């Protein structure tokens, strides 16, 4: 092997050792859970990336309500339990969620009205909306999720209808009768619905009763319901049912979804996309 080839190979090894952004953010949250404060310079040295990249990571995590940036670093949010910082909702299956979000965003067309449920997977849908649709697609977004508002609020050509109500800190979403009342008379082309569980016996389920009530109202306001959920949710039963599984229009999940589950759902007439 030549000197140049050896150097190139070494660079490849070093590059492969550098965690991607999703992994970095997960580790940053773990550090916050343990120490309650992180420093940009320390993280930059640890991960072997620029301080600009670390600042971008911290900004994204702050937008998701998981930390507060300070000069030179970030601190955990007062009152937010340490276990929330490393909850499975945030850390688990990050790559799968990103692929699911990218595939779901490809369904969106110009002039459509969209409903976004709360959750990390629906947030990935918002983050992957094509740029031309964000700048000139005349999209209308209806949501009770603050992370969705933060993600899309910077685009002046995206018209956002924010549903009010009682704020659930853990889920960063509005719930309650005011939220449901705000939906009265509204109609959307597509709803992107997250889930904590997917079974044929109990349907699409979630862990929070109040959020489920809002989700049911959101479903009734949409012509098409697209569930975005990674395969770990298949076979899991959450606390409360949102809707029957066979009543959804489409499921976008990852390629680890059980083949028998996918086949049966397709037999029921539901479109299933695996990524």
State mean pLDDT over 163-171: 88
- Give CA–CA dist 7/12, Å, rounded: 9
Q: What pLDDT, on the 0 to 100 scale, is given for residue 226?
A: 98
DSSP 270: -
Percent of the chain residues topping a pLDDT of 70: 87
For residue 74, the model assigns a pLDDT of 94
Residue 68: beta bridge partners? 75
pLDDT one-digit tens code per residue, 15-38? 334 567 877 887 888 788 777 899
What pLDDT sits at residue 64?
A: 74
pLDDT greater than 70 at residue 13:
no
pLDDT tens across 261-271, in order?
Answer: 999 999 999 99
- Encode pLDDT of 225-252 as tens digits: 999 999 989 999 999 999 999 999 999 9
Cα separation of the two ends of the chain = 38
- Mean pLDDT rounded to a whole number for the chain: 87
Closest listed residue to residue 50, CA positions, set 186, 33, 58: 58
pLDDT digit string (tens) for 124-153? 999 999 999 999 999 999 999 999 999 999
- pLDDT range class, residue 9, cuts 50, 70, 90: very low
Q: For residue 80, with 0-12 CB atoms within 10 Å meaning exposed, 13-18 middle and 19 or more buried, which class applies?
A: middle
Residue 202 reports pLDDT greater than 90: yes
Task: Set out the domains of the chain in order of their start, with CATH numbers.
Answer: 3-89 (1.10.10.10), 92-274 (3.40.50.1360)
Residue closest to 215 by CA, chosen among 118, 121, 141, 125 = 118
Model pTM? 0.72
How many residues are recorded in the chain? 275
């Amino acid at each position: 092997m030549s000197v140049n080839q050896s150097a190139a190979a070494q660079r490849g090894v070093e590059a492969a050792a550098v965690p991607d952004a999703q992994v970095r953010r997960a580790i940053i949250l773990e550090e916050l859970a343990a120490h309650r404060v992180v420093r940009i310079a320390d993280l930059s040295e640890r991960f072997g990336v620029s301080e600009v990249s670390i600042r971008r990571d911290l900004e994204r995590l702050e937008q998701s309500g998981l930390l507060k940036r300070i000069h030179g670093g970030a601190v955990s949010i007062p009152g937010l339990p340490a276990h929330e910082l490393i909850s499975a909702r945030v850390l688990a299956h990050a790559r799968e969620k990103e692929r699911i979000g990218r595939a779901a965003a490809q369904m969106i067309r110009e002039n459509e009205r969209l409903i976004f449920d709360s959750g990390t997977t629906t947030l990935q849908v918002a983050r992957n909306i094509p740029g031309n649709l964000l700048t000139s697609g005349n999209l209308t977004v209806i949501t009770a999720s603050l992370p969705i508002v933060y993600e899309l609020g910077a685009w002046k050509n995206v018209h956002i209808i924010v549903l009010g109500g009682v704020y659930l800190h853990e889920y960063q979403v509005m719930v309650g009768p005011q939220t449901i009342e705000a939906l009265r008379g509204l109609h959307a082309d597509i709803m992107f619905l997250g889930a904590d569980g997917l079974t044929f016996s109990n349907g699409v389920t979630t862990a929070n009763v109040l959020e489920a009530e809002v989700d049911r109202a959101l479903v009734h306001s949409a012509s098409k319901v697209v569930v975005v959920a990674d395969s770990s949710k298949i076979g899991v039963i959450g606390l409360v049912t949102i809707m029957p599984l066979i009543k959804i229009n489409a499921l976008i999940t990852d390629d680890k979804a059980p083949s028998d589950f996918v086949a049966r759902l397709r037999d029921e007439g539901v479109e299933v996309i695996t990524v």
